[in-house]
Amino acid sequence: LRSELGNVERLSLVGQMAASITHEIRNPMAVVRGFLQLMREKSPGSLDHYYRIVMEELDRANSIISDFLSLAQNRIVEKEEHHLHDIIYELTPLLWADANLRGQSIELKLDEDLPKLNLNPKEMKQLILNLSRNAMEAMDDKGVLTLKTASSGEQVLFEVHDTGPGIPKNKLDKLFEPFFTTKSTGTGLGLALCLSIVERHNGTITVDSEEGKGTAFRVAFRMERPMLRS
């Protein structure tokens, strides 16, 4: 069977398997979560500490499953012409709220003349959220997160900058590997997912980090303008 399938079909077979396995795992996890909540309501108090840990770990397992699913599906996504800024504006309330809780601030430096891009909105949201969350998680309460856009030639550039501690040089080439994390509750799948999203959009992602100063993740998308050439 394997040899009869093209690359695309094989990928989607893996994707379909991943989808059904994760579905089957999620169901019992949801039941466990529900009964835990019930147990706590019936006998609150002494076990609260354990309860919190178990819930956190369940949620962590869930987010690993979500990220893994998006990664394994590596689907051929549908893209449409969108303005990147519309996607950013859709996310800003969420980001502001998150930054507020942490005492951090957000700056937007958006290029007014940014051309539209051929993109998948759901994936683009995930990309922006993952990079922004990492930035916020890296910073203390005086941190500033900057989202910047620019265009240059046939490229649309998107940058997420933070004023966090930076990334040690010897870790830079591991960042995009699945499961690489330095956080106790991290999944290490966020940047792997970012990379696969960017690749599906024919773009590149690079990181520029200075220890003690901060980090910038830069994404460059190529504009598709076949009309101009005919």
For ligand ADP, the binding residues (CB under 6 A) are 130, 134-135, 138, 162, 164, 167, 175, 180-183, 186-192, 215
Sign of the C-alpha dihedral computed for residues 52, 182, 187 and 161 taken in this order: positive
Instruction: Identify which of residues 35 and 179 has a Cβ nearer to Mg ion in the complex.
Output: 179
Both tokens assigned to 89: 């504006």
**Token reading at 88:** 């950013």
Min dist. Cβ of residue 49 to ligand ADP (A): 24
Give the nearest distance from C-beta 210 to ligand ADP in angstroms. 11
DSSP 211: T
How far is residue 94's CA from residue 101's CA, in Å, rounded to a whole number? Answer: 11
Residue whose CB is less far from Mg ion, 111 or 137: 137
Interaction of residue 134 with Mg ion, rule CB under 5 A: yes
In the complex, least distance from residue 6 CB atom to ligand ADP, rounded to whole angstroms: 30
Handedness of CA 17, 20, 26, 28 (dihedral sign): negative
Q: Which is nearer to Mg ion, 70 or 156 (CB)?
A: 70
Kindly list the distances between the CA atom of residue 212 and the CA atoms of 22, 121, 162, in Å, as whole numbers in the listed order.
39, 34, 11
Q: How far apart are CA 168 and CA 212, in angstroms?
A: 10
- The distance of closest approach from Cβ of residue 133 to Mg ion in the complex, given in angstroms and rounded to an integer, is 6
**Shortest distance, position 48 Cβ to ligand ADP, whole Å:** 26
Q: From 9-17, 127-135, 138-146, 169-177, give the range in contact with Mg ion by CB under 5 A.
A: 127-135
List the single partner that 145 binds among ligand ADP, Mg ion, none, CB under 5 to 8 Å by kind. Answer: none
Query: Cα separation of 90 and 110, whole Å?
Result: 14
Residue (37 or 185) nearer to ligand ADP, CB: 185
State how far the Cα of 30 lies from the Cα of 36, in Å rounded to an integer. 10
Which tokens belong to 110? 């958006």
Residue with smaller CB distance to Mg ion, 68 or 156: 68
Q: If contact means CB under 5 to 8 A according to the sort of partner, which of Mg ion, ligand ADP, none does residue 183 touch?
A: ligand ADP
Residues that bind Mg ion (CB under 5 A): 134, 190
